[in-house]
Amino acid sequence: MISEYAFRTVKLPDHARFDTICIHAGQTPDPSTGAIITPIYQTSTYVQDALGVHKGYEYARTQNPTRAALERNLAAIERGKAAFGFASGMAATNAVMTLLQSGDHVVVTDNTYGGTYRLFERVLRKYQLDFTYADTSQLNEIERAIRPSTKLLFIETPTNPVLRITDLAAACTIAHGHGIPVVVDNTFASPYVQRPIDFGADLVIHSTTKFLNGHSDSVGGAVIAVRDDHIEWLRFIQNAQGAIIGPMDAWLVLRGTKTLPIRMERHNANGLALAQFLAAHPKVSTVHYPGLPSHPQHELASRQMRGFGGLLAFEMGSLERARSVLNNVRLIALAESLGGVESLISHPATMTHASVPPERRRQIGITDDMVRISVGIEDLQDLQDDLEQALARVSP
Ligand SMILES: Cc1ncc(COP(=O)(O)O)c(C=O)c1O
């Protein structure tokens, strides 16, 4: 027999703090069973009680309860008003770009994710959108790139893989002074480390594939919005274009966000410790990590970020020496992607940034001897031992 208590909901207090929000926001026990975890509503349609009488769900591209729970959860985590789940981070970025019209111009962080650059240059230019890539970490470069036709400032901070930081509050002030909305791709930092809406951003994009899911077992994306006109359009385009996150992936991300704070604490701690270890290693020439005092924007990162994240890059002096590290690590897996519990190592020039032309790579500081690590949450000593033995094989 179903007891009356089965329907008592778990209530999130109004003053709930970040860690509590991550676990509970957007979810109530399932109304039909009391299941504490939102079920995977793996259905394409919903039976209507009578013509025009239904429970708010008609067709699963338009509405799905698992996706809706994830969207409420992400909106609360990023302190936005609404969130929209997409099939991938790229689908989320593409949806944001549909806010624009032909002839519009966008100022973009020059060191943006290679797939974003490819979408803008190879696809969206066909629709007469124009892009200027600026070093947004230099505020005067933002100002200089703005034109009368600029309709969006697209920021990525920290950038991949050299971890350059843009001052979000200052960049938003400049853009808003010209009436330009600001979108921040917050994939690299995660909302534990920084929440762009707190600094004035209008839209936040995530590849949920990364830290939000956190377990390397799902591909997805999300857009979080605050403005009613953006929310209305994004809800429309999510249904009109149909690039939605599926219920299984939505459920996996929802599971991931419950442990986001404790995972990020460990990513931050391991990231800083490995950056310090590499910076002190005689075979490593340069380490890029905002937590190191040698990082040119260490002070800004300390103000803007909570911890410095789980991504670091380092230079080995030559492609051969970089190859030696990449081929000799054993515990750290050679793979694309980032943000999972397991550590991954990659070669940006030939992997994540292969679609960026070589001279542009050089301009944005991606050298052929650069190695990137997405530092996972394994035991720090095991990670350090693995790098130590791989570095020992590099010729002096
Ligand atoms: C910063 C950033 N944004 C967007 C994406 C695209 O996300 P997805 O692979 O989920 O389409 C990635 C993927 O690596 C990324 O690193």
Could you read off the pLDDT of 190-235 as tens digits, one per residue?
999 999 999 999 999 999 999 999 999 999 999 999 999 999 999 9
d(CA 261, CA 269): 12
Q: What is the pLDDT of residues 33-68, one digit of tens each?
A: 999 999 999 999 999 999 999 999 999 999 999 999
Does 210 qualify as catalytic in the annotation? yes
Question: How does the average pLDDT of the chain come out, rounded?
Answer: 95
**For residues 99-120, average pLDDT:** 95
pTM for the full predicted model = 0.96
Q: How much of the chain, in percent, has pLDDT values that exceed 90?
A: 91
Q: What is the pLDDT of residues 262-281, one digit of tens each?
A: 999 999 999 999 999 999 99
pLDDT computed for residue 9 by the predictor: 59
Q: Which residues of 254-281 are buried (b: 16+ CB within 10 A; e: fewer)?
A: bbbbbbbbebbebbbbbbbbbbebbbee
Does 151 qualify as catalytic in the annotation? no
DSSP H or E segment with residue 89: helix 89-97
Lowest mean pLDDT among 151-155, 180-184, 363-367: 363-367
Q: Which of 110, 135, 167, 185 is catalytic?
A: 185
Ligand 1 pocket check for 257: Cβ under 6 Å: no
Residue to probe by mutation, ligand 1, list 113, 119, 157, 218, most atoms within 8 Å of CB: 113
**For residues 357-375, average pLDDT:** 93
Does 255 qualify as catalytic in the annotation? no
pLDDT computed for residue 2 by the predictor: 40
pLDDT computed for residue 7 by the predictor: 46
Tokens 């999510």 sit on residue: 238
Of the candidates 231, 175, 1, 186, the one whose C-alpha atom is nearest the C-alpha of residue 93 is 186
